[in-house]
Amino acid sequence: EAGVAQSPRYKIIEKRQSVAFWCNPISGHATLYWYQQILGQGPKLLIQFQNNGVVDDSQLPKDRFSAERLKGVDSTLKIQPAKLEDSAVYLCASGPIQGWQTQYFGPGTRLLVL
Amino acid sequence: AQSVTQLDSQVPVFEEAPVELRCNYSSSVSVYLFWYVQYPNQGLQLLLKYLSGSTLVKGINGFEAEFNKSQTSFHLRKPSVHISDTAEYFCAVSSYSGGGADGLTFGKGTHLIIQP
């Protein structure tokens, strides 16, 4: 079974630029999550999707971050414009309906904002 | 609201010695508890989870954890560590709110350093 795929793996941009990350969850997984992991901290949930609907985006900085999950499969997370403090690893995770308590994580996208 | 406290940011241990990584949580609802491991430049891998039932949970790579409801703790243990166990360990909690599993709330992590 293929795992959660994310791209790109690394991205370097300057502040005020825009950037987008892509996530392909495990086939059949209905729930998809985006987390932000700042260096030295645990991951923090940004947004949770159930199929193509948003379940929780209470911690998403909506003035600059946006996310979508078209057709309930792949998802993209966008930052526009980026700030220095957005430098972090962005992790995508997915979960099945059965065994829903367990989330499976992708390798992450490491973002550096200069 | 939920929170997780990992009491040690760094734990140095000699190879083949036992180790315990401490985790305390707070929540107003029933929670599910997890330990994840993160090797350098990799994503998070599930070590073990407590959903219900027996409070002693066994996971991969010889790790186990015990859920203690009265002390709101979920400490991770291994009787004998190996160099390959060097990694960052995260304790996390989740609950259910009808829309599927809630997103995980993580602790800040404990860096396990194995010394030869």
User: In what helix (H) or strand (E) does residue A98 lie, and over which residues does it extend?
Assistant: none
- Reading the block at residue A27, the tokens are 């086939």
Q: What is the model's pLDDT at position B100?
A: 59
Q: Are A56 and B92 a contacting pair at CB < 8 A?
A: no
CA of B34: which chain A residue's CA is closest?
A102
Average pLDDT of the residues of chain B:
91
SS3 of A53-88: the string is EEEECCCCCCCCEEEECHHHCCEEEEECCCCHHHCE
Residue given tokens 């992991």 in the structure block = A37
- Higher confidence at residue B102 or residue B110? B110
pLDDT class of B97 with cuts at 50, 70, 90? low
Q: What is the model's pLDDT at position A98?
A: 67
Q: Percent of chain B scored above 70 by pLDDT? A: 96
Each residue's pLDDT tens digit, B46-79: 999 998 889 999 999 999 999 999 999 999 999 9
Task: Give the minimum alpha-carbon distance from A43 to chain B in angstroms, rounded to a whole number.
Answer: 6
User: Which chain B positions have a beta carbon within 8 Å of A108's beta carbon?
Assistant: 43
Q: What is the model's pLDDT at position B40?
A: 84
Q: What is the model's pLDDT at position A100?
A: 67
Provide mean pLDDT across the span B87-105. 82
Q: What is the model's pLDDT at position B101?
A: 65
CA of B5: which chain A residue's CA is closest?
A42
Q: Are A41 and B102 a contacting pair at CB < 8 A?
A: no
Quick count: other Cβ atoms within 10 Å of Cβ A113? 20
Q: Give the three-state DSSP class for B75.
A: strand
Beta-carbon-side half-sphere exposure of residue B11 (alpha carbons within 13 Å): 24
Q: What is the model's pLDDT at position B14?
A: 96
Q: What is the model's pLDDT at position B110?
A: 97
Q: Are A105 and B109 a contacting pair at CB < 8 A?
A: no
The terminus-to-terminus CA distance of chain A in angstroms comes to: 37
Going through chain B in order, the beta strands assigned E by DSSP cover 3-5, 10-14, 19-21, 24-26, 32-38, 44-50, 56-58, 64-68, 73-78, 87-94, 105-106, 110-115
Q: Give the three-state DSSP class for A23.
A: strand
Q: Are B90 and A42 a contacting pair at CB < 8 A?
A: yes
Each residue's pLDDT tens digit, B21-51: 999 999 877 889 999 999 987 889 999 999 8
pLDDT in tens, chain A (114 residues): 689 999 999 999 999 999 999 999 999 898 999 999 999 899 999 999 988 889 889 999 999 999 999 888 999 999 999 999 999 999 999 988 766 678 899 999 999 999
Q: What is the model's pLDDT at position A99?
A: 65
Chain A CB within 8 Å of residue B60 CB: no
